[in-house]
Amino acid sequence: MRLIFLGPPGAGKGTQASILADIAQVPHISTGDILRQAIADATPLGQKAKDYMDRGDLVPDPLILDLIRDRLSQSDTQKGWILDGFPRNVKQAEFLDQLLAEIHQSANYVVNLEVSDEILVVRLLGRGRTDDNEETIRRRLEVYHGQTAPVITYYQNKGTLHNIPGEDEMAEVTQRLKTLIQG
C-alpha cells in the first residue's frame, strides 16, 4: 500500500494515517512528526525548521525534499508507506512524482480528507500542540488554502484523487477509508 493523505491541519490525517498504517503494516511517514522530533533532538534540521513551524508557515522546500528523499530510501518503505503532511505544495507534489519514478514506485491512493474551516478551528484549539494557538492556526489555514489546496487539483487532474468526508466521528471516517482500500 502506498497512500498519500491530503487535507487541512486538524482534518484527522495523522490519526487516520496511523490506524491505516497499523492495518497495512507499512510505515506512517509524517513530515510534521519528523520535524517535531528534529526540534526535540535539537538537530540542524530542527533548528532550521522551528521558527517556520512556530509561525505556521511551511518549512522551505529544500529541507523537506531532502528529508523525504532520505526517508523513502530507507528499507522499511519497500513494503509500502503512508505519507501524511507531504506534499504540501505543488512543487513538492512534482518532486514526489519524479522521486517515485526514479525509485520505480507510485502511489496507489491519494486521499483528500474534507473538513470545513469552522470545524478545523474548533479541533485545533482543542488539541494543545505548541503551534495550535489562535494566531498560528489562522496562519496555517491561510497557508493551507493558498499553497496546499492546489495539490488537490494537481492530483484531481491526474485522476488519482479520492475525496473522503472527514467531519464525522473518527471510527466512521476510518470505516470509509477501509472500504476504499479493501474494495
Catalytic machinery residues: 13, 88, 127, 129, 140
Q: Which three cell numbers stand for residue 20?
A: 491505516
Grid coordinates representing 133 are: 494557538
Maximum Cα–Cα distance for the chain, whole Å?
A: 43
Cα–Cα dist 21/1, whole Å: 9
Q: Indicate the residue type of 13.
A: K
- Site size for ligand AMP, by CB under 6 A? 16
- Min separation Cβ 35 and ligand AMP, Å: 5
Query: Which lies closer to ligand AMP via its Cβ, residue 92 or residue 112?
Result: 92
Binding string, 148-177, against ligand AMP, x = CB under 6 A? Answer: ------------------------------
Coil, strand or helix: which one is 26? coil
58: contact with ligand AMP by CB under 6 A: yes
Give me the least distance between CB of 159 and ligand AMP, in Å please: 23
How many other CB atoms are found less than 10 A from the CB of residue 168?
12
Selected range binding ligand AMP among 20-28, 86-94, 110-118, 169-177, rule: CB under 6 A: 86-94
> How far apart are the C-alpha atoms of 57 and 61, rounded to whole Å?
12
Q: Which stretch binds ligand AMP (CB under 6 A): 16-24, 52-60, 102-110, 159-167?
A: 52-60
How many angstroms separate the CA atoms of 125 and 142, rounded?
Answer: 16
Task: Give the three cell numbers for residue 76.
Answer: 522499511
Sole binder of ligand AMP in the list 4, 53, 96, 173 (CB under 6 A): 53
CB-based contact 81:72 (threshold 8 Å): yes
140 near ligand AMP, rule: CB under 6 A? yes
For ligand AMP, the binding residues (CB under 6 A) are: 9, 31-32, 35, 52-53, 56-59, 64, 85-86, 88, 92, 140
